[in-house]
Amino acid sequence: MTGEDAHVREHVLAALDRLTGLIGAQDMAALNEFDPSPDTVFIGSESWEIIEGPVKLFEFFETICSQPERFSWAWRRRSVSHAGNVAWLLADGEFIRTGPEGEDRTPYRVTGVLIYSGERWRWRQFHGAQPI
C-alpha cells in the first residue's frame, strides 16, 4: 500500500466512523456527511429505505434521530479502494440496536461510494444490508 493509499484509507474510514457515530448520537449533523448532489442516495436494510437527494435525506435523518432506540455498529472487516477523488468501501460486522428491551445484534454490511469534495470525503452512495 502506498502512502497515498494509506492516507485515503484512513480518511475514508474516518468518514464511516463519523457517520455511524453521528447516527448513534442521533445528531442531525449526519446529513453533512453526504454530498449535497441530487443523486446522492442512502439505501438501508429495510425495503422502503431508498432515500435520494438532500431533502429526502433530511427527512430520513429527522426520523432516525427521533427514534427511542440507539444504533451503533461493530466492524470486523473494513476495506477501502480509490481512484482519484472517488473511493469505495466495504464494512462487515454487526448492527447493534439498543432500546428499552435491551440490545439486539444483527449481521450487517455496508458498501459505499465517497467523493473527495475539496475538504473531506463525503458519501455519494451508502448501502447497508443485513445478510441472512
pLDDT digits (tens, 9 = 90+) for 38-85: 999 999 988 889 999 999 999 999 999 999 999 999 999 999 999 999
Report the CATH architecture of 3-129.
Answer: Roll (3.10)
pLDDT digits (tens, 9 = 90+) for 78-105: 999 999 999 999 999 999 999 999 999 9
Strands 70-83 and 50-52: unpaired
Residue 87 near residue 80, CB atoms below 8 Å: yes
pLDDT digits (tens, 9 = 90+) for 24-43: 999 999 999 999 999 999 99
User: Taking the model in full, what pTM does it have?
Assistant: 0.92
Exposure string of 24-53, with b = 16+ CB inside 10 Å and e = fewer, is: eebeeebbebbbeeeebbbbbeeeeeebee
Sorted by where each begins, the domain ranges of the chain are 3-129
